[in-house]
Structure 1
Amino acid sequence: MNDVVRWARALQALSQTGLEYAAGPYDRERYEAVQRIAVEMAAWAGGEEPAELLASFAEESGYRTPKVDVRGVVLGAEGLLLVREPDSDGWCLPGGWADVGETPSRAVEKEVGEEAGISARAVRLLGIFDRDFRGRLRWPAHVYKLYLQCEPLGGTPTPDGVETEAAGYFPLDTLPSLSAKTPPEQLSRALAVAADPAVAAAFD
């Protein structure tokens, strides 16, 4: 299944880039055919409707590049700050998509404040990882996840009631079950960097 998703993602990127730079109608027809193949593969792998996927693919244009997901590693006196999203099977680091025009530090500070109710300041890059898609059924874009250590400045963990339904600090030795948005192996690598100021940021 992971191979099918990877192939579909590569074909989607190829078709999107090809459509952007197509030299004529015959080139466009070929890249549109590649896009339809990518849709069929992605729909089969993720159980989604081909028509919805095709519309989603068509909204993307230009040279295909990875999206950026920022995650705040907020370490306080009580442990690590985590949030729980509605209908989620576990907890994750607060964060989300970086908006165009935002710096990574500003993006993660905003996400921590909105999702967990904590005012924080980004102080250090801990890692840049390729997003892990294991167990994710919905169509995945290619994503780079940025883990940034954040210093808590104030506030009480409070969910926003929309994107998050719970928030709290957890001791590092008794973390709850994590959702797919915070793969345990990535979190372990980020925490190892956070524990030693002399260690450089991790990356895939």
Structure 2
Amino acid sequence: MSSDMQWLDWVKRIQAIAQTGLTYSKDVYDLERFEELRELSIEMLANYTNVSREKIKLHFGSETGYATPKVDIRGVVFKEGKILLVREKADNAWALPGGWADIGHSPSEIAVKEIEEESGYITVPKRILAVMDKKFHDHPPEQYHVYKIFIECQIVAGQPNGGVETSEVAFFDRDRLPELSLERNTVKQIQTMFQFLDDPSKTVILD
């Protein structure tokens, strides 16, 4: 993480300490202190971003249990030397199909489910390509600590069709990528996925 974004790392750590403390502490005074820490993390995040305090509290300051990173699963599908991308309705930019991991589903099940829901293609999982920590890559800053898992899948059926969250489906050449949804994937990450197409024996990437 760059030095000018160090504050975001501190905010996440403060929130994690507060959340874990609120989960396991029994002493009423400790609970008050941890609640104060959580409020401080919300105030800091609201001050340094354009996100409203209410929205931050709803999504960032209301989680319970031991604080752990979130997991984002991305499906990687190649066809005739091109990569499958979907246009996100949220920002009208393109991304590998995927989303947050769901309780009760394995990573490969999530990849297959997201690909079908967002692109219309039915696939089978082949292999894990990369596990990346979002903070090491050129994504816009966000409040969560996120691990990204990229899973290669192979088309077995289906037709291209947008979903609830996507409006278009297409395959793109590595040299003609569209505007990407940087919150979800970066140009460097997409180019890295093509390295696995070029070299099937390439070692899994781990941050």
Same fold by TM-score greater than 0.5: yes
**Is contact 1:159-1:165 (8 Å) kept?**
yes
> Counterpart of 1:186 in structure 2: which amino acid?
Q
2:77 is equivalent to residue 112 of structure 1: no
2:138 is equivalent to residue 147 of structure 1: no
User: Which residue of the other structure, out of 168, 171, 174, is the alignment partner of 1:169?
Assistant: 171
TM score, norm. by length of structure 1: 0.91
Correspondence 1:7-86 to 2 at 5 A: 7-77=10-80, 79-86=82-89
Q: CA deviation at 1:134?
A: 5.1
Deviates more, 1:62-71 or 1:178-187: 178-187
**Is contact 1:193-1:202 (8 Å) kept?**
no
Deviates more, 1:22-31 or 1:111-120: 22-31
Could you tell me how far apart the structure 1 residues matched to 2:110 and 2:189 are? 20
Partner of 2:104: 101
Could you tell me how far apart the structure 2 residues matched to 1:115 and 1:2 are? 32
Could you tell me how far apart the structure 2 residues matched to 1:198 and 1:56 are? 40
Counterpart secondary structure, 1:113: helix
Counterpart secondary structure, 1:107: helix
* Unaligned stretches of 5+ residues in structure 2: none
**Is contact 2:86-2:119 (8 Å) kept?**
yes
**Is contact 1:117-1:157 (8 Å) kept?**
yes
| Distance change (3 Å), C-alpha of 1:88 and 1:52 | closer
Deviates more, 1:176-185 or 1:29-38: 176-185
Could you tell me how far apart the structure 1 residues matched to 2:153 and 2:128 are? 9
TM score, norm. by length of structure 2: 0.89
**Is contact 2:129-2:193 (8 Å) kept?**
yes
| Distance change (3 Å), C-alpha of 1:101 and 1:135 | closer
Q: CA deviation at 1:87?
A: 4.3
Counterpart secondary structure, 1:168: strand
Q: CA deviation at 1:5?
A: 2.0
Deviates more, 1:122-131 or 1:191-200: 191-200
Counterpart secondary structure, 1:114: helix
Could you tell me how far apart the structure 1 residues matched to 2:171 and 2:54 are? 42
Partner of 1:202: 205
Matched residues, percent identical?
A: 36
Deviates more, 1:76-85 or 1:111-120: 76-85
Could you tell me how far apart the structure 2 residues matched to 1:90 and 1:53 are? 24
Task: Tell me the C-alpha RMSD between the 2 structures.
Answer: 1.9
Partner of 2:140: 136
Q: CA deviation at 1:178?
A: 1.4
